[in-house]
Amino acid sequence: MTLSPRRLAIDYGLLILLAGLVAVFAVAEPAFLRVNNLFSILQAVAIVALLGVGVTVTMIAGGFDLSVGGLAAFVQMAAAYSLVVLDGSTGSAILLCLGLGILVGLGNAVLIVRLGIPDLLATLGMLFLLAGLQLVPTGGRSIAPGLILLDGSTAQGTFTDGFLALGRHRVWDILPVPVLVLAVVAAALWLVMAWTRFGRVFYAIGGNELAARLAGAPTRLYRVAAYVISATVASIGGILLAARIGRGDVSAGNGLMLDAVAAALIGHAVLGANRPNILGTVVGAVFVGVLLNGLTMLNAPYYLQDLVKGAVLIGALAVTYGLAPRRA
């Protein structure tokens, strides 16, 4: 098969663009290429990429999960509450967060798979619910050590060093823990989705649920699993978020959801996959991260960020939907 320019654009367009960006930034600002800076970029995108990976799992199964941003923010508050207000240990905080994540995933699954509410609507509802719920225990205030509680007493706990390390420690002084977590989670899910029969069934359900069911797959179970995976991954993101900022911030979740969904959508265009895929989502998140980091280094104004993200997203969608072959 010959590689037409169009095919080349579809398969490698985004990667070529990424390489081009890196080259331009490296020339304009040599500090850009320093290993430390590259890992900072990855550190900055790790949480968004994680959430995006979760969304991707639901998209592969033909669904959607808008609640991941709200869930990550909610979990971040829960971690802070557990550590600071309840004076809990690192382990108990993590377990609480993962447990909450699984519960929310099951909740989404009940709404979507059991009650048949369209996925966008159900997870949008869940998003609002969680965004509101995180404010209740503290009356809408952020959580930091020494917080004055609603009953007038002072919170006794602090963020443990072990917990903070999750967000701040660098393995061998170079590799940030969140990046490591992202690598492990994304690699595991990529292997499942691309190389196992289970992943194949997830894709088949996304393609035609009835056909997958007639082929004998327990499709409802798979769809429940997709939402639980998505929520669990999002709650891991929430834990990392809490560990990075070192307190429970009521506004920490702003923008997370949109960035994660954008990464997943940009990922469609990676390597001509033309469908949701885990690796593509990570590349999508990194792409946006590189762009923002480079522009910041070149002193581009902060307010241009959303503009840039929007342009990248639309460009990627144009490749996915406009260039790729489709039936009239």
Partner 1 sequence: MTTSAVPPALAMRGLVATFGPTRALDGASLTVAPGTIHGLIGHNGAGKSTLIKVLAGLVTPQAGTIALDGATVTGMTPGRAEALGIAFIHQERLLVPTATVGEALFLGRESAGSRFGIRRGSLRRRAEAALERVFGVTLPKGALIRDLSTAQQQIVQITRALLADPKILVFDEPTAALAQREVEHLFAAIRRLKAQGLTTLYISHYLAEIEQLCDTVTVMRNGRDVAHVDPRQVPEGGLAQLMIGRPVTELYPRQRAAAGEPVLALAGVGVGPGVRDISFTLRRGEVLGLTGLLGSGAKDLVRALFGLAPITAGTVTVDGQAARLKNPTEAVRRGIALVPEDRRAHGVALDLGIRENLTLASLGRLSRWGWLDREAERRRALDLIGELQVKTGGPDAPVRTLSGGNQQKVALGKWLAREAHLYILDEPTIGVDIAAKAEIYRLIAEAAGRGAGILLLSADPDELLGLCDRILVLFRGTIVAEHEAAGTDAGTLLQAALTGGRGAAGAASTVPAHAA
Chain residues binding partner 1 by CB under 8 A are 1, 195-198, 200-201, 203-204, 206-208, 210-218, 275, 325-328
H helices of 61-159, in order, are 68-80, 90-109, 119-133
User: Please, which residue, 174 or 211, has the CB nearer to partner 1?
Assistant: 211
CB-based contact 46:102 (threshold 8 Å):
no
> Measured in whole angstroms, how far is the alpha carbon of residue 109 from the centre of its chain?
19
Rounded to a whole number of angstroms, the minimum distance from the CB of residue 197 to partner 1 is: 4
User: Please, which residue, 61 or 97, has the CB nearer to partner 1?
Assistant: 61
Alpha-carbon distance 202 to 223, whole Å? Answer: 8
Alpha-carbon distance 222 to 205, whole Å? Answer: 8
Nearest to 48 by CA among 216, 289, 297, 256: 256
Rounded to a whole number of angstroms, the minimum distance from the CB of residue 191 to partner 1 is: 9
Q: Which two tokens stand for residue 65?
A: 């999960």
User: Please, which residue, 35 or 328, has the CB nearer to partner 1?
Assistant: 328
Residue 173's alpha-carbon distances to 35, 168, 176, in angstroms, are 12, 11, 8
Rounded to a whole number of angstroms, the minimum distance from the CB of residue 202 to partner 1 is: 11
User: Please, which residue, 35 or 327, has the CB nearer to partner 1?
Assistant: 327
Question: Is 22 buried (19+), middle (13-18) or exposed (0-12) by CB count in 10 A?
Answer: middle
User: Please, which residue, 132 or 207, has the CB nearer to partner 1?
Assistant: 207
